[in-house]
Amino acid sequence: MHSISNTVNRKFIDSVDLEHLEIETDTGWQPIAKIMKTVPYRVWHIEVESGLTLDCADDHIVFDQDCHEIFVKKLQAGSLIKTINGNEKVTKVLVSDHRENMFDIAVDSTDHRYYTNGILSHNTTIINALSYALYGQALSNIRRDNLVNKTNAKNMLVSLDFSINNTDYRVIRGRKPNVLKFYVDNQEQQITDEAQGDSRETQQSIDQLLGFSHDMFRHIVTLNTYTEPFLSLRANDQRSIIEQLLGITLLSDRAERIKELVRETRESITQEEFRIRAIIESNKKIQEHIDSLKKKQKSWTDQQQLDIQNLNTAIEELEKIDIQQEIQCHRELTEYTKKIQEIRDCENYIKQIDRDNQKQERLIQQLKKELSDIEQHRCFACGQDIHDQQQQTILESKQKLLQETALQLLANETQKIQHLDTIKTIGSPEAQPQVFYDDIELALNHRNTLDNLKKDLNNKQSAVDPYDEQIVEMQSAALQVVSYDHLNSLTRLQEHQDFLLKLLTSKDSFVRKKIIDQNLAYLNNRLTYYLDRIGLPHVVKFQNDLSVSIEELGRELDFDNLSRGERNRLILSMSWAFRDVWESLYQPINLLFIDEMIDSGLDTQGVESSLALLKMMSRERNKSIWLVSHRDELIGRVSNVLKVIKTGGFTEYSFSE
């Protein structure tokens, strides 16, 4: 089967990614990946014998009775095409002057077929092998599992060999089962994510090696009709690609790395500040402990000096003592104390006797008065008269008491005389003897006491300060020196990193402006060159804000104002200019795919100009250019031909030079 689906140059102006929607196909219901809106096309109307109709563009693809692809514009009444009812004859083909936007459906399957109003149609197809091998994804939204052909339903494998700077590389990637192998000079690189089959680390290595993103790959390596043209992209998407092309994305990559370094530096500063604060806090606590030890040390030292002073004083006092005299004084003091005590005892007895005598004398006086009252027959208590018998009894009682009192008084006087005689006998004591010791036992132990005091003095003088060693050790070992040198160094590093980050990210940065001014001038120069060579008279220029202006004879135009041929010329010229800028800034790319870009929309002169440029690139720049086309007349214009034919679900290849 001869495939023509890659000859269609559809110009998409918008697209919507879809999920959970399916469309009926000749192999069953299949998921829809995307619906794409095209630029306005002239409406073609076809009708088949069962009454099924279809309004579409001229290059909309249907299938003939042998399931070969065929453009609607190639149909005529009587042609057999595939419908939901089987093979049916076309009864009507009409071309309208009316133009309107078309909608193309991307089916998530390898057959790329679906029913449109019951008529079997073909969705947009892509060359995915190169893209899948390098990036693990197709050029469109087709799911990776649907890249596997439905005939085998497994063991899809893509192998790609290439070299950069005289180093050979090979990527082998497949699905069902998942496979990813990466070789450098025939040495397989380690894959760490064996469970998934795709190693993120290995893919990152491949991306870094290639040096450009998948989007850039689609615009400078694989030019095709199903990639949305650069000028149809949204402004932000255009800017992203241009920034990547001009090296501004490298600034962003460097900025991201610097951001990471800034984060690491900030963390280091935080850790250093925490370390310093911890040291300061620790030193504070240690110093408080040292100060406490010093206070205790001072108290200990003061007490030691006081004890030494007291011991010296005590020793001096003891050494002055005549111990024999001290002992004699103690004996005399004992005798003296005894006499004093005897005198005091006698004096105390005399005082007691005097007090008792006074009491007895008062009692005698009272008794005498009472006896007088009784003798006169009066009661001494109440003054009443008393009888003779009662009087005699009271009188005898009182007389007896008076006699006893007189005898007691006489006895007291006798005792008093005895005590006075004792005092007289003792005599007046001499002066009290003066002693050093409190008792004679201590005086007798004078020598031992003196020796003990001297020993205590020696021990006290030789005592080691229990706090000095602790204080010295804590001051020398525990206290840490607080240095801000490393923190200051980190702060200066952060300031430098912040400056670099601002330099890389600020739109007003002179580095960014310099890169844009230099590289944009070269991009515009190469774009003008290719536009002139391909025959497009328009002036197309990238502005400093990375927008694109299109002018014709001083009149500003939008991309959609251009005809299909003009858009094709501009797409090719811009892609080639992109390649020249990329190669001048980074590294040469020897491979270029032109997938049906010159088949449709270009007149003869446009085709000739495009071929001339491609041949020049191949000849002068040693580029390997793959021109995918269904124009048989181009076979004689190229050096080598690889013919691809799909028959019975299998693809056959034939090569000729």
pLDDT digits (tens, 9 = 90+) for 189-227: 875 544 344 467 788 888 888 888 888 888 888 887 667
- The average pLDDT across 588-602 equals 79
Residue 50 identity (one-letter amino acid) = S
- 8 Å CB contact between 11 and 567: yes
Residue 584 has pLDDT above 80, yes or no: yes
- pLDDT (0 to 100) of residue 112: 67
Summarised one tens digit per residue, pLDDT across range 313-342 is 988 888 887 888 878 888 888 888 888 888
What average pLDDT does the segment 20-28 reach? 78
Q: Is the pLDDT of residue 625 over 60?
A: yes
What value does the mean pLDDT take over residues 537-552?
91
Contact 133, 173 (CB under 8 A): yes
What pLDDT score was predicted for residue 387? Answer: 63
Query: What domains lie within the chain, and their CATH numbers?
Result: 5-124 (2.170.16.10), 126-210 (no CATH), 213-246+509-656 (3.40.50.300), 323-435 (1.10.287)
Cα dihedral 485, 486, 487, 488, rounded to 10, equals 50
Q: For residue 162, what pLDDT band results from cuts at 50, 70 and 90?
A: confident
Q: Across residues 553-581, what is the average pLDDT?
A: 90
Cα Rg for the chain, rounded, in angstroms? 64
Residue 524 has pLDDT above 60, yes or no: yes
Region 563-587: mean pLDDT is 89
Q: List the single range of 12-16, 313-317, 527-531, 589-593 with lowest mean pLDDT.
A: 12-16
Quote the mean pLDDT of the chain. 82
Q: What are phi and psi of 561, to 5 degrees?
A: -75, -15
CA pair distance 617, 575, nearest whole angstrom: 13
* Residue 289 neighbours by CB distance under 10 Å: 14
Q: How confident is the model at residue 146 (pLDDT cuts 50, 70, 90)?
A: low
Token code pair at residue 350: 């005399």
Checking if the pLDDT of 264 tops 70, the result is yes
